[in-house]
Amino acid sequence: RGGQDAAGWRPRGGTRGREAPGWPPHGPLGHGRQLSVALSAEGDEDWLRGVRGMFGSREDELEAKLEALQARCANLSSDLESERTEMAKARERAECVEEVAEKLRVKAFTLETEIEAERMALGTAKGTQRLQEERAQKAADDHRSNAASLEAEVILQRAQLANEKE
């Protein structure tokens, strides 16, 4: 290994990433120049035919796994698409519910305002009615007291007249 080739090229030592032309590769079997030599020697596209016999069942197993994974991927994609569709529908329903809720909030506020106005009007009406009742009661009391005082005056005048006659 330490010598020169015919062109005078000498490796500097250690394994290099690229092999010099004419030198054997340092990689595993089927690597580098050996692979191209095997291809040209066989002259056939299926250069792995000899190796395939040893690993054929494994290759079939891996192909079956690949097909299963592809089918699962397709199912997951389908599920994802249906989930997206469901999410979009749910989002639309949520937006509709929010719109209806907002309308109901506005309506509730309007009704509360109207109820408060009715209470105020009713309170004012009750207050007015109460005031009228109090005035009527006072007038009745005044009338009674006036009637009582008039009766008292009449009794006094009768008593005075009776005293004067005696």
Return the pLDDT at 147: 87
**What pLDDT is attached to residue 47?**
56
Contact assessment for residue 38 and residue 47, using Cβ atoms and an 8 Å cutoff: yes
- Measured CA to CA, the distance from residue 106 to residue 100 in angstroms comes to 10
| CA 58 – CA 65 distance, rounded (Å) | 10
Per DSSP, which regions of the chain are E strands? none
Residues of the chain short of pLDDT 70, as ranges, are: 1-56
Structure tokens that stand for 80 in this block: 């994802």
Degrees, nearest 5: CA angle 72-77-83: 125
| pLDDT at residue 146, as a whole number | 86
* pLDDT number for residue 24: 57
pLDDT for 73: 96
pLDDT value for 61: 87
Question: What pLDDT, on a 0 to 100 scale, did the predictor assign at position 87?
Answer: 94
The pLDDT assigned to 106 comes to: 94
Q: What pLDDT sits at residue 13?
A: 58
